[in-house]
């Protein structure tokens, strides 16, 4: 009866995860480049990476199962350049979500 609603919910969640994951990758890649150039991080990057992680974690809440989320994240990761720091930031969000 409410199959259409669940479908719309999943579509919206997928869109949110895609946008938030790309945002986290972008800021994490910038933070990694800054660290490589300066030998340390900055408060700006710390705050913005954490904010992006929180937003992605929030996007994980919805009708998608963790396996579907991991597949979506893996698919997006294949299409993007991901620094070591970005990979760690993404994995931290996934592991945090699994612990809930």
Tell me what percent of the residues of the chain surpass a pLDDT of 90.
89
d(CA 32, CA 16): 24
- pLDDT given for residue 5 in this prediction: 81
Q: What is the pTM of this model?
A: 0.93
Containing structural domain, residue 17: 3-99
Q: How much is the average pLDDT of 18-35? A: 97
d(CA 92, CA 11): 24
Tell me what percent of the residues of the chain surpass a pLDDT of 70.
99
pLDDT band at 1 (very low <50, low <70, confident <90, very high): low
Q: What is the DSSP letter of 39?
A: S
Query: How many structural domains comprise the chain?
Result: 1
CA torsion, ordered 51, 54, 59, 61, to nearest 10 deg: -160
Burial label, 93 (beta-carbon count in 10 A; 0-12, 13-18, 19+): buried
Structure tokens at 18: 């895609």
**Average pLDDT of the chain, as a whole number:** 95
Could you report the per-residue pLDDT of 83-93, keeping only the tens digit for each? Answer: 999 999 999 99
């Amino acid at each position: 009866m409410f199959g259409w609603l669940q479908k719309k919910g999943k579509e919206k969640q997928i869109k949110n995860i895609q946008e938030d994951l790309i945002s986290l990758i972008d800021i994490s890649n910038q933070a990694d480049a800054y660290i490589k150039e300066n030998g340390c991080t900055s408060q700006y990057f710390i705050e913005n990476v954490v904010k992006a992680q929180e937003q992605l974690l929030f996007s994980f809440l919805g009708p998608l199962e963790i396996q579907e989320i991991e597949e979506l994240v893996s698919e997006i990761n294949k299409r993007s350049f991901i620094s070591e720091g970005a990979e760690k930031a993404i994995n931290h969000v996934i592991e945090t979500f699994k612990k809930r």
